[in-house]
Amino acid sequence: MTQTSDLPRGGEFRGLVAAVTGGASGIGLATARELAARGAEVCVLDLNADAAPAGLHGFTCDVTDRASVQTAFAAIDQRFGRLDVLVNNAGIGAQGTVEDNDDAEWARVLDVNVTGMARAAAAALPLLRKGVAARAGDASATAAIVNTCSIAATAGLPQRALYSASKGAVLGLTRAMAADHIREGVRVNCVNPGTVDTPWVGRLLDAAADPAAERAALNARQPTGRLVSAEEVAAAVCYLAGPYAGATTGTDLAVDGGMQGLRLRPA
């Protein structure tokens, strides 16, 4: 049995290959950087692959297009011959109640947020199995998929019907995939971020009448008094993707400043 004292301290992804969808911005970008800092070769799969930082490998990919996803993973296979970590992170938002979003909007958001994750995972799994096989001498080695879910999956947020439905599906998908693939040595978990200070949230704030006041109000609603940073989510993703989480699969980890678990009275 592996002792945690035997595991590497830092650099735990050295010699491994990771792919991050939506890795050109926000949570995905912070995760791609953190995986690289800890030793991984990191492939950024994004509509906007040109925005991948120097030193990372950019692959243009639209997770709503099966051929585009398959082409990107085929290119990773050709380049590295394996994959050890998939971070399924590409996602888009939607606001409103069920009366506000039409069928086209439902189809578009579910296609990116849910089917997009299934497409990327299906294309990645043969490569993840190669990663597991390549480390056959290491009994504790597993490949990992980490899905970016959201507290919206279970929190009952107002004005987020479609988005919450999409993230609820990601939670179910995570648990089902964990059951399907653990015998192959592939762990599957998700992170549930709260409100994270990314370009996405920046765009929402900029659309408000008074962005500074809106940001102050958003900060005040957090138990911690501030938004979550993308780097804090990235650290949680690296934990779930890495060797310290070798016994963890089918679970979700909140990184939400206490939003979900705490019931604070207004100050």
Binding site for ligand NAD (CB under 6 A): 21-22, 24-28, 46-48, 61-64, 89-92, 112, 116, 148, 150, 193, 195-196, 198-201
Alpha helices in the chain (DSSP H): 26-37, 66-80, 103-110, 116-134, 152-155, 161-181, 199-206, 211-221, 230-241
Nearest residue to 27 (alpha-carbon basis) of 144, 202, 166? 202
Q: How far is the CB of 126 from ligand NAD (least distance, A)?
A: 20
Q: How far is the CB of 239 from ligand NAD (least distance, A)?
A: 17
Structure tokens at 84: 């050890």
Residue whose CB is less far from ligand NAD, 148 or 249: 148
Alpha-carbon distance 106 to 161, whole Å?
Answer: 10
Residue whose CB is less far from ligand NAD, 182 or 205: 205
Return the DSSP state at 51.
G
Q: How far is the CB of 221 from ligand NAD (least distance, A)?
A: 13
CB 164 within 8 A of CB 172: no
Return the DSSP state at 113.
I
Alpha-carbon distance 233 to 196, whole Å?
Answer: 8
Count how many Cα atoms sit within 13 Å of the Cα of residue 99 in the half-sphere of its side chain.
1
Residue 240 phi, psi (nearest 5): -65, -30
Please state, as a whole number, how many other Cβ atoms lie within 10 Å of the Cβ of residue 78: 8
Residue whose CB is less far from ligand NAD, 127 or 196: 196
**β-pairing verdict for 17-21 and 252-255:** unpaired
Residue whose CB is less far from ligand NAD, 10 or 156: 156
163 is catalytic: yes
Q: How far is the CB of 148 from ligand NAD (least distance, A)?
A: 4
Q: How far is the CB of 79 from ligand NAD (least distance, A)?
A: 19
Question: Which residue among the candidates 163, 245, 252, 257 is catalytic per the annotation?
Answer: 163
Residue whose CB is less far from ligand NAD, 132 or 201: 201
Residues serving a catalytic function are 163
